[in-house]
Chains A and B, each alone.
Chain A
Amino acid sequence: MTLAAKEELRVEYKKPRPLSTNSAVAHAVKDLDVDVVAAYPITPQTTVVEKISEFIANGELEAEMIHVESEHSALSATIAASLTGARAFTATASQGLELMHEILHIASGLRAPIVMSVAMRALSAPISIWNDHSDVMNARDTGWVIMFVSSAQEAYDTVIQAYRIAEDRDVLLPVMVAYDGYVMSHTMEPVVTEDRDSVLAYAPKRPFPYKLDPDKPVTIGVIADPDWYYEIKYQIVDAMRRVPQKLEEADREFGKRFGRSYGVVECYLCEDAKSLIVAASSYAATLKAVLPRAWERGLKVGLLRLRLYRPFPEEYILRHIEDKDSILVIDRAISYGAPYQGPLANEFAGLLLKHDIKANLVSVVAGIGQRRMVDEDFMKLAEIAWEARISKKPETIFYGVRA
Chain B
Amino acid sequence: MSEGVRLLKYNEILPGGIIDEPGSSLKYKTGSWRALRPVIDQEKCVRCRLCWIYCPDAAILEVDEEYVTKKGRRYKISYKVNYDYCKGCGVCAQECPVNAIEMVPEPIGGEEQ
Contacts and interface: CB of A to CB of B under 8 A. Distances in A.
Given A217-B20, A228-B13, A239-B15, 8 more contacts: A109-B16, A210-B15, A217-B22, A219-B18, A225-B2, A231-B8, A231-B13, A234-B10
A interface: dominant SS: loop
Nearest to A218: B20
Contact of A232 (B1, B2, B7, B17): B17
Given A217-B22, A227-B7, A231-B10, A111 B16 contact: yes
Contacts of A218: 18-20
Given A232-B13, A234-B10, A235-B10, A227 B1 contact: yes
B1 A226 contact: yes
A228 B17 contact: yes
A232 B16 contact: yes
Interface string A101-115: 000000001110000
Contacts of B73: none
Nearest to B2: A227
B71 interface: no
Contact of B1 (A220, A222, A225): A225
B20 A235 contact: no
A172 interface: yes
Given A225-B1, A232-B10, A234-B10, A220 B18 contact: yes
B21 to A, nearest CB: 9
26 contacts: A109-B16, A110-B16, A111-B16, A172-B15, A172-B16, A210-B14, A216-B20, A217-B22, A218-B18, A219-B19, A219-B20, A219-B22, A220-B16, A222-B19, A224-B17, A225-B1, A225-B2, A227-B1, A227-B2, A228-B2, A231-B9, A234-B10, A235-B10, A235-B13, A235-B16, A238-B10
B7 to A, nearest CB: 6
A371 B21 CA distance: 55
Contacts of B14: 210
B interface: dominant SS: loop
Bin chain A's interface residue count: 20 to 34
A348 B36 CA distance: 53
Contacts of A209: 15
Interface in A199-226: 209-210, 216-220, 222, 224-226
A236 to B, nearest CB: 9
B15 A111 contact: yes
B11 interface: yes
Interface string A42-60: 0000000000000000000
B112 to A, nearest CB: 21
A209 B14 CA distance: 10
A61 B22 CA distance: 37
A238 to B, nearest CB: 7
Contacts of B8: 231
A172 B15 CA distance: 8
Nearest to B24: A219
Interface centre among B7, B10, B15, B20 (most CB of A within 10 A): B15
Contacts of A110: 16
Nearest to A237: B10
Interface in A103-138: 109-111
A33 B24 CA distance: 37
A13 B24 CA distance: 58
B11 A238 contact: yes
A224 B2 CA distance: 11
A229 to B, nearest CB: 8
A100 to B, nearest CB: 18
A234 B14 CA distance: 12
B10 A210 contact: no
Interface in A242-275: none
Contacts of A111: 15-16
A231 B17 CA distance: 9
Interface in B1-53: 1-2, 7-11, 13-20, 22, 24
Given A227-B2, A227-B7, A210 B20 contact: yes
| 8 nearest A-B residue pairs (beta carbon) | A231-B10, A219-B19, A111-B16, A111-B15, A232-B17, A234-B10, A110-B16, A227-B2
Contacts of B1: 225-227
Contacts of B11: 235, 238
A13 B45 CA distance: 91
